[in-house]
Amino acid sequence: MHNVSRRAFFGLTAAGAALAAAGPGRAAAGGLADLASMTRDAQPISAAEHGARLARVQGLMQQKKIAAFLVEAGASLEYFTGVRWHRSERTTAALIPASGGVVVVTPYFEEPSVRETLKVPADVRPWKEDESPFELLAGALRERARGEATLAVEPTTRLFIVDRTVKAATAAPRVVPGDDLIRACRMHKSAHEIALMQAANNVTLAALRYTHGQVGAGMQASDINQMMAAATAALGGSHEFTLVLLNEASAFPHGSIKPQQVREGSVILIDTGCSVHGYQSDISRSWVFGSATARQRDLWNTVKRGQEIAQETAKPGVPVGSIDRAVRTFYEGKGWSRDYGLPGLSHRTGHGIGMEVHEAPYLVRNDTTPLEAGMCFSDEPGLYIPGEFGIRLEDCWYMTEAGPKLFTPLARSLEEPI
């Protein structure tokens, strides 16, 4: 789980910069120079794999009588075409027809950059600054659909792109959600995808182990964030986010703007992840700096048991929401709030993960999706006491025919959280 502000990611104190540059001493005994890349052997998704993904979605579109699929820049565009591009006011998108070649629309001056990651045969149609990308998309729809058409839209595609493309079409298509197409293709990970996620999780756990050994009194969240980012890069991962919650801020699942420092008895909660060739990790660890109180220890042990219950409940065919229900029943039996209330577990027990940190399906009690092999999730049933502290432990896992398999071992104890 994460929601990191730009300020939190880039805002480094002078102490943080000094830690990153340190030679032997406070932060560098067994320091960054001793960390070696763990991802040299990781292989990206091949052009053949991208081609197979396109063939699958086109087959599904033919079954559902969908003429074309509109996909804006983002994880799904990368999934199907390899194009790794950012979103801005300048539209980059693809029209995937039910049969035939993909059409990619992108700004004229961005075309060489977009082509660098394109992995499938495609007709790239650039538009100049005084031209309309929506006319190009509508034109591709007319060519590929030939008559009355149903246009599916990838669920994160922005409304202005859909609206202007439809208005530019000669015959307005029937627009339908593309959620089912995305779920059918991306929800079940291949062995290659799982291997990349394993590599990302290995990096993140190693970076956490390094950072855990370097935390000292007086450090701010930004100092610790900097160490995690530097360690992740040294270990061969692309640092995606680090959320560091200290003291009372650990009771806010996604943090507080109030500055906090490490002190005796501080709860330190780190939620962090990286990517390897586009596939994500997401791990959280909580511990106490110095001596823990009985209340801190009890909460930590309760959350660990919550993680274990989630793993014990995960069986093939079981609705994913039942995992959330099982953990919540245990917590409520110990007196914690019901119905996502506080103090207690105010968020879902976990989320799907893959190319995005948060993907369907979700471990929330009203999600009835049956567990199937290849699905990947986080397991993070945190407990939070507003005004005091919170504990979150998080590891990711994937479903097999025999049951769940963790990417990383669960934390051993409050004294040995990594």
For 291-350, how does the pLDDT look when each residue is reduced to its tens digit (9 = 90+)?
999 999 999 999 999 999 999 999 999 999 999 999 999 999 999 999 999 999 999 999
At residue 222, the pLDDT reads 96
Which pLDDT belongs to residue 8? Answer: 32
Residues 266 and 124 occupy one common structural domain:
no
Q: Looking at the structure, do residues 247 and 311 belong to the same domain, yes or no?
A: yes
d(CA 145, CA 80): 20
pLDDT of 24: 26
Cα separation, 297 vs 278, in Å, equals 37
> The domain that contains 219 carries what CATH number?
3.90.230.10
Residue where a domain terminates, one of 186, 201, 236 = 186
DSSP β-bridge partners for residue 284: 271, 394
**Angstrom distance (rounded) from CA 395 to CA 402:** 19
**Which of 170, 186, 202 represents a domain boundary (last residue)?**
186
| Partner residues linked to 389 by β-bridges | 385
In a domain, 414, yes or no: no
User: What's the predicted TM-score (pTM) here?
Assistant: 0.91
Residues 118 and 236 in one domain: no
Q: Specify whether 24 is located in the same domain as 94.
A: no
Do 373 and 234 share a domain, yes or no? yes
Is 140 found in the same domain as 62? Answer: yes
Whether 260 and 399 share a structural domain:
yes
Looking at 140, 171, 186, the residue that finishes a domain is 186
- Assess whether 202 and 174 both reside in one domain: no
**What does the alpha-carbon distance between residue 142 and residue 208 come to, in Å, rounded to a whole number?**
52
Are 127 and 255 within one domain? no
Asked whether residue 418 is assigned to any structural domain, the reply reads no
CA distance 130 to 333: 63
Total domains present in the chain: 2
Do 181 and 193 fall into the same domain? no
Across the strands, what pairs with 405?
A: 398
Reported as type and span, the H/E element at residue 150 is: strand 150-153
Q: Which domain holds residue 305?
A: 6-34+189-406
> Is residue 264 in a domain?
yes
Q: Are residues 226 and 325 in the same domain?
A: yes
Q: What would the pLDDT profile of 106-115 be if each residue is shown by its tens digit?
A: 999 999 999 9
312, part of any domain = yes
- The answer to whether position 41 is within a domain reads no
Per-residue pLDDT of the chain (418 residues; tens, 9 = 90+): 544 333 333 233 333 333 333 332 233 346 899 999 999 999 999 999 999 999 999 999 999 999 999 999 999 999 999 999 999 999 999 999 999 999 999 999 999 999 999 999 999 999 999 999 999 999 999 998 876 799 999 999 999 999 999 999 988 999 999 999 999 999 999 999 999 999 999 999 999 999 999 999 999 999 999 999 999 999 999 999 999 999 999 999 998 889 999 999 999 999 999 999 999 999 999 999 999 999 999 999 999 999 999 999 999 999 999 999 999 999 999 999 999 999 999 999 999 999 999 999 999 999 999 999 999 999 999 999 999 999 999 999 999 999 999 999 999 999 999 9
* 107 token code pair: 């700004």
The answer to whether residues 256 and 3 touch, using CB atoms and an 8 Å cutoff, is no
On whether both 376 and 400 belong to a single domain, the answer is yes
Q: CATH code at 161?
A: 3.40.350.10
- For 203-353, strand residue ranges (E) read 238-246, 267-276, 279-280, 283-288, 350-352
Q: Position of tokens 């992108």? A: 106
For the chain, the distance separating the N- and C-terminal CA atoms, rounded to the nearest angstrom, is 18
Rounded to an integer, what distance in angstroms lies between the CA atom of residue 131 and that of residue 123? 18
Residue 415 domain flag = no
What is the per-residue pLDDT across 245-297, written as a single tens digit (0 to 9) for each?
A: 999 999 999 988 899 999 999 999 999 999 999 999 999 999 999 999 999 99
